[in-house]
Amino acid sequence: MKYPLLLLSAGLSLAFSPAQAQSSPRALDARNGFLDAKFGMPASELEGVRLTSTVGAKQVYERVGKLPTLGGNKLSRVHYTFYNNQLCSIMLNVAGKSNNDGVLRTLQQAYGTGTAEGRTRTWEGRTVSLVFGTMGQDQANGVVSVSNKALVKQMQTRGAVGQPQRSVLSSEGQ
């Protein structure tokens, strides 16, 4: 039997069995995305977004219209980053301390306690990484970043233009 832990305003739910909730890396990897998006999907399959920037093979889209909620907590922005037309990361902005506290509780229910360092909490799966952090003295603004490790590494290695990057410290060409 599955128990819905994260309810989204779009009527979608993320459901995890108790065994998955106890094994946070497996639950994170099994989801392989966030909200209604799956890592590796092309941009054309994501509805309700607009293109905000393009740099070479990297494109960033922003959710428009009614934003989903995360565990009943309001999100202020949702951005999707694609590399070579494959979704590689999702960034959710959260405004308000009560929303931040609620998002953190929701993430902990779904993925376990995570690793805390200062105002940041991290969950590391084998293939997916999730980071939640708050900003400001009153911790009123928060960010959730979910990414596919292999796709992000590919983007960082090849750069936004899709070409291998040379280090300025490289001895090539000297």
8 Å CB contact between 82 and 59: yes
Residue 161: per-residue pLDDT:
57
Looking at residue 44, what DSSP letter applies? G
Q: Which residues on neighbouring strands pair with residue 158, listed in sequence order?
A: none
Residue 26: per-residue pLDDT:
84
Domain that holds residue 87: 3-158
Residue 108: per-residue pLDDT:
93
In a domain, 173, yes or no: no
Q: Taking the C-alpha atoms of 95, 96, 102 and 106 in order, what is their torsion angle to the nearest 10 degrees?
A: 10
In a domain, 15, yes or no: yes
In a domain, 77, yes or no: yes
In a domain, 163, yes or no: no
pTM: 0.78
Q: Which residues on neighbouring strands pair with residue 86, listed in sequence order?
A: 83
d(CA 56, CA 76): 27
In a domain, 57, yes or no: yes
Amino acid at 145: S
In a domain, 114, yes or no: yes
Residue whose C-alpha is closest to residue 146's, from 131, 135, 164: 131
Helices (H), 12-169: 18-22, 24-31, 97-111, 149-158
Residue whose C-alpha is closest to residue 75's, from 43, 27, 109, 107: 107
pLDDT, averaged in runs of 10, over the chain (174 residues): 30 35 70 90 95 93 93 95 96 94 93 92 95 86 95 83 44 40
In a domain, 167, yes or no: no
Give me the number of domains the chain comprises. Answer: 1
